[in-house]
Amino acid sequence: MGLTVAPVNAWFLAWIALAPLWVLVVTAPQKITTPLFLSLAWGVGYHGIALFWITGIHPMTWMGVPWLASLAIAIFCLCFITLWGAALVASWAISLSLINRRSRLTSWVRVLIGTAIWCGLEALWNAGPLDWSNLAYTQSPYNLAILHLGQISGPGTVSAAIVVVNGLIAEAWMSRKEDKKLLYMPFVFCLAFHLIGFSLYNLPLNQPPETALKVGIIQGNVPNQIKLYPEGLRRAIAGYTTGYLNLADQKVDAVLTPEGALPFYQSDLLQSAFVKAVKEKGVVAWIGAFGEIKGGYTNSLFTITGNGEIFSRYNKVKLVPIGEYVPFENIIGGLIKRLSPLDEHQIAGVPNQIFDTPFGRAIAVICYGSAFPELFRYQAAAGGQFILSPSNDAHYSAAMPAQHHAQDTMRAIETDRWAVRATNTGYSAFVDPHGKTIWMSGHNTYEVHAATIYRRQTQTLYVRWGNWLTPLLLILSAITSTFTRFGASRL
């Protein structure tokens, strides 16, 4: 399963990679330790491989962190986040194993319960501070047809389809001598899921000319190592100002810069050469900078109008663990402080923000927030007409920004919106509501690009009702399990 995402991108393996674990969990001996260890091994393999790019934070000597301490932080981050993801798999395996032992479950009931538990755990994990690699994103951005199931009930719908097919493969293997008809079911369901997604994928996009918006992207390519130092500040001001003037001459309606493109507080931002260029050209700019707030600062996206004034502001909601705040600080905060001299005071924005612009309401989510679909769904339901996703994926290998692009591709499909991605070092991109990447930048390159997007006011079933499928599956599973157990006890 770890090979399904960037850099390998073998997305098709997701449809078979869970089946062996399913067989082992169901057929495991009575000791609960067996499914526990098996599932932890599977989870470490998946999340450890998929998230190995986290080690790219090392070395952090440019931040004043000693080399050995930097290495320790990188190893700790990889191990902790990998085990956090593996805990989901272990929770699923133990739950399925216990329910299966207490009731005489048929193959179909086991598939229903196994799928419901997995989707419920993914929803629970996504409600917390640490989440990235759910099963749905293994299909992005390549299997666009199946990703359109996300329009029905979010990414959980795609995960459910993957678990169902894997479960049916496992059940077919275990029942191959008793029930040969079950052998065909994985193919039937996989085909059915793809046909549903393909029908949604082929719906035409209604794009009236009056909804068009020509947006420019500047990918500044300012490495984190120099970003906060005089050389980096000069490079940022020069690169973003020149790029803005270039795009203004191309008659764009607005320009989007990456997360923290100009590392100034808002009061200093308004006095910068970039904002002076905005006053000169009169083209709206969305600028990544720092906002001032009591007790600290925010990582924000500002709308600067042609007169050089702030029209709106969006504060980053999901902060990067360790880098921007310490998760579970009461538990591991002391360890982090012993390893690192960093002192972060970044404050998260509230989840229910809206982001108005001179062109209508937008959906704005900064960097790590791309992994949390509810942030997009809320703003789409509140009238957001297009997605702005500024990020800074510098200091990592190309696998990380590729996975980040995969997340935003899913969000564009789920909300049926055009997405504009501006990153510091790549990959910046334009994505249409069907998940097609219209343009993508290079990695570790300075680039300026403009494209036309369209404002949309449609609302998918997911935008209107949220993740309704997971509660439904859990309710059906509880009812089915209860009746099955009751029937077994009477026998």
pLDDT in tens, 138-184: 999 999 999 999 999 999 999 999 999 999 999 999 998 787 788 99
Q: Integer distance in angstroms from the first to the last C-alpha of the chain?
A: 40
Contact by Cβ (8 Å): 385, 415: no
Predicted pLDDT of residue 340: 40
Encoded tokens for 209: 């000319």
19-26 vs 155-174: helix crossing angle, rounded to 10: 60
Contact by Cβ (8 Å): 291, 265: yes
> Average pLDDT, whole number, for the chain?
92
Mean pLDDT (whole number) for 481-486:
75
Predicted pLDDT of residue 102: 81
Predicted pLDDT of residue 491: 45
Task: For domain 209-455, say whether CATH 3.40.50.261 is its number.
Answer: no
Annotated catalytic residue within 77, 119, 190, 367: 367
The H or E element spanning position 446 is: none
Q: What is the 3-class SS of 386-440, one letter each residue?
A: CEEEEECCCCCCCHHHHHHHHHHHHHHHHHCCCEEEEECCCCCEEECCCCCEEEE
Distance CA 387, CA 73 (A): 33
Predicted pLDDT of residue 281: 97
Mean pLDDT (whole number) for 131-136:
94
pLDDT of 356 > 90? The answer is yes
pLDDT of 5 > 60? The answer is yes
pLDDT of 322 > 70? The answer is no
Close Cβ partners of 350 (under 8 Å, ≥ 6 residues apart): 315, 317
pLDDT of 91 > 80? The answer is yes
Distance CA 252, CA 456 (A): 19
- Amino acid occupying residue 294: K
Contact by Cβ (8 Å): 393, 221: no
Annotated catalytic residue within 171, 259, 324, 414: 259
Active site residue 77: no
Around 327, how many Cα atoms within 13 Å sit in the side-chain half-sphere? 15
pLDDT of 129 > 60? The answer is yes
Closest CA to 37 of 88, 93, 84: 93
Annotated catalytic residue within 316, 318, 324, 414: 316
pLDDT of 336 > 50? The answer is no
pLDDT digits 0-9 by tens, 393-447: 998 899 999 999 999 999 999 999 999 999 999 999 999 999 999 999 999 999 9
pLDDT of 367 > 70? The answer is yes
Active site residue 177: no
Predicted pLDDT of residue 29: 80
Predicted pLDDT of residue 342: 41
Q: Tally DSSP H helices, then E strands, for the chain.
A: 17, 12
Predicted pLDDT of residue 334: 52
Close Cβ partners of 352 (under 8 Å, ≥ 6 residues apart): 378
Q: How confident is the model at residue 205 (pLDDT cuts 50, 70, 90)?
A: very high
Closest CA to 433 of 148, 158, 159: 148
Partner residues linked to 411 by β-bridges: none
Domains of the chain by residue range: 2-203+467-490, 209-455
What 3-state class would DSSP assign to 106? Answer: coil
pLDDT digits 0-9 by tens, 33-82: 889 999 999 999 999 999 999 998 888 777 778 888 888 888 988 999 99
pLDDT of 382 > 50? The answer is yes
Active site residue 119: no
Predicted pLDDT of residue 30: 76
Question: How distant is the alpha carbon of residue 424 from its chain centre?
Answer: 18
